[in-house]
Amino acid sequence: MKLWQKTSTTTADDILEFTIGSDRDFDMHLARYDVMGSMAHAEMLHKVGLLSATEYIAINTELESILRSIDEGTFVIDAGCEDVHSYIEALLTRNVGEAGKKIHTARSRNDQVALDIKLFLRQEILEIKDAVLTLFHQLQALSEQHKDILMPGYTHLQVAMPSSFGLWFGAWAESLNDDMELLVAAWNVVNKNPLGSGAGYGSSFPIDRAETTRLLHFSTQNFNSVYAQMARGKTEKIVAMALSSIAATLSRFSSDVCLYMSQNFGFLSFPSHLTTGSSIMPHKKNPDVFELIRARCNRIQALPNELTLLMSNLPSGYHRDMQLTKEMLFPALSSLRSCLSIATRMLAEIRVQTHILDDERYKYLFTVEKINELVNAGLPFREAYVRVGNEVENGTFTYDGTLQHTHQGSIGNLCNAEINAVMQEVSSRIALV
């Protein structure tokens, strides 16, 4: 059954196959939310007098039954239906009779899909928020645990200045703070109700969009009915930008881990059961997990551009192009959640190397410390710089490794409590009303 089908016309099978594409598969992600939207729509139709009490009770009872089948894993979209929306309406018509046919009153499949996607994305954002918070707290705990263990800091991949594992782990935690800011922005865009915009031009029925907004726990509406449709695709792109930001943090962190696990660095290691081996080199313990996190997250970073190209220069109103946003965005959501989860799993067993800076190769990490010591003794900075530079050049540089870093955000003052306070405030903005 097609919601648009008329008894006097048919469409060729190959055309249907091409236009439906993978929609039925991706629509399984939307099934629960299509039922939720239909329940709110039916309740609103009853309250404004477009459904009788008997009709509303019958429809709602059947929708509750469908929802149970979804939760139990027995719900399958019939192959004869092109999408989840038409199948649920077909079930209502079959099991409720004439009343079931009224569920589409004052509703278009356009605003139905837009609603389902927003409800789906809202739940996905909540789950990603929780996964980011879990990783954030893991990084902060590691920062505190290893705050006194020194490691080299690099610029241009050249030995630069002393760092610490506390500083390094804490940097990635604070990076997630800014990522969460973008996730909040995506949440604010997603959490607006498009239902009632119809095909993009509203309805002559006396519907109450404020009521469905309340029933579905949206913070507000997409008020203008034309824009409610134009927000399709734009909403997905904004979510993709937030995902891309989180992915960028994970990808860059993973590159550090891969580098620091190599024998040339040897700063980090993991138990054998968390690494993989080589088919011909028995000594190998490969960082495959972090290489795949990096690769997956680099793909996710391309997603906003994919959606930009899909939506570029489309006129206002609905276009079938938007159907493809599902197959771009939905797998990315699953992939990012998987990456966040496995990164947290790996960090639970990470091992850091102690006494790294005892190695002679890292002695020049302390040139700036020597300069600062001379400046504190009264020598102008540029003269101190030249003196220490000459010591490096002629091989006479020495330093005892004493560090005096006390300012906020330095080795001696990580500000983890302040970073945590920011995360708690930002993440609290993602919550159902």
Q: Which phi and psi (to 5°) does residue 281 adopt?
A: -115, 100
Specify if 211 maps to a domain.
no
Residue 384 confidence (pLDDT) above 70: yes
Using left for φ > 0, alpha for ψ between -120 and 50, and beta otherwise, residue 275 falls in beta
Average pLDDT of the residues in 381-388:
97
Question: Which of residues 105, 136, 154 is at a domain's end?
Answer: 105
pLDDT in tens, 21-72: 677 778 999 999 999 999 999 999 999 999 999 999 999 999 999 999 999 9
Which of 23-37, 376-390, 414-428 is the least confident region? 23-37
Looking at the structure, tell me whether residues 80 and 176 fall in a common domain: no
Positive or negative, the Cα torsion across 225, 226, 227, 230? positive
pLDDT in tens, 284-330: 788 899 999 999 999 999 999 999 999 998 999 888 888 899 999 99
Cβ pair 259, 151 in contact under 8 A: no
Cα–Cα distance, 180 to 286 (Å, whole number): 31
Q: What is the pLDDT of residue 318?
A: 86
Average pLDDT of the residues in 389-398:
95
Give me the domain span that covers residue 253.
Answer: 110-146+164-203+223-358+414-427
Cα–Cα distance, 262 to 264 (Å, whole number): 5
Q: What is the pLDDT of residue 126?
A: 98
Specify if 399 maps to a domain.
no
CA distances from 351 to 145, 269, 290, 305 (A): 11, 5, 15, 37
pLDDT in tens, 242-290: 999 999 999 999 999 999 999 999 999 999 898 876 667 777 788 899 9
Looking at the structure, tell me whether residues 238 and 93 fall in a common domain: no
For the chain, give the percent of residues with pLDDT over 90.
85
Specify if 2 maps to a domain.
no
Average pLDDT of the residues in 331-354:
97
For the chain, give the percent of residues with pLDDT over 70.
95
Q: What is the pLDDT of residue 23?
A: 72
Residue 317: CATH number of its domain: 1.20.200.10
Q: Which residues make beta-bridge pairs with 164?
A: 150
Looking at the structure, tell me whether residues 77 and 134 fall in a common domain: no
Average pLDDT of the residues in 185-191:
98
Residue 159 confidence (pLDDT) above 90: yes
Looking at the structure, tell me whether residues 39 and 22 fall in a common domain: yes
Looking at the structure, tell me whether residues 262 and 372 fall in a common domain: no
Specify if 83 maps to a domain.
yes
Looking at the structure, tell me whether residues 195 and 227 fall in a common domain: yes
Work out how many domains the chain is built from and give that number. 3
Residue 153 confidence (pLDDT) above 50: yes
37 contact partners, CB below 8 Å, separation of at least 6: 112, 115, 116, 119, 195, 216
Mean pLDDT value across the chain? 93
Q: What is the pLDDT of residue 255?
A: 98
Residue 137 confidence (pLDDT) above 70: yes
Angle between helix axes 288-301 and 325-347 (nearest 10 degrees) is 150
Q: What is the pLDDT of residue 24?
A: 75
Cα–Cα distance, 65 to 90 (Å, whole number): 14
From 59, 66, 62, select the one nearest 42 (Cα to Cα): 59
Looking at the structure, tell me whether residues 387 and 343 fall in a common domain: no
Which of 9-13, 78-82, 130-134, 372-376 is the least confident region? 9-13
Residue 17: CATH number of its domain: 1.10.275.10
Average pLDDT of the residues in 219-225:
97
Give residue for tokens 């929306």: 85
Average pLDDT of the residues in 137-147:
98
Using left for φ > 0, alpha for ψ between -120 and 50, and beta otherwise, residue 13 falls in alpha
Specify if 156 maps to a domain.
no
Looking at the structure, tell me whether residues 49 and 91 fall in a common domain: yes
Looking at the structure, tell me whether residues 56 and 84 fall in a common domain: yes
Looking at the structure, tell me whether residues 67 and 188 fall in a common domain: no
pLDDT in tens, 226-242: 999 999 999 999 999 99
Specify if 227 maps to a domain.
yes
Q: What is the pLDDT of residue 5?
A: 55
Cα–Cα distance, 186 to 123 (Å, whole number): 12
Q: What is the pLDDT of residue 8?
A: 58
Looking at the structure, tell me whether residues 185 and 281 fall in a common domain: yes
Indicate the pLDDT class of residue 4, thresholds 50, 70 and 90: very low
From 55, 192, 179, select the one nearest 119 (Cα to Cα): 192
Looking at the structure, tell me whether residues 354 and 365 fall in a common domain: no
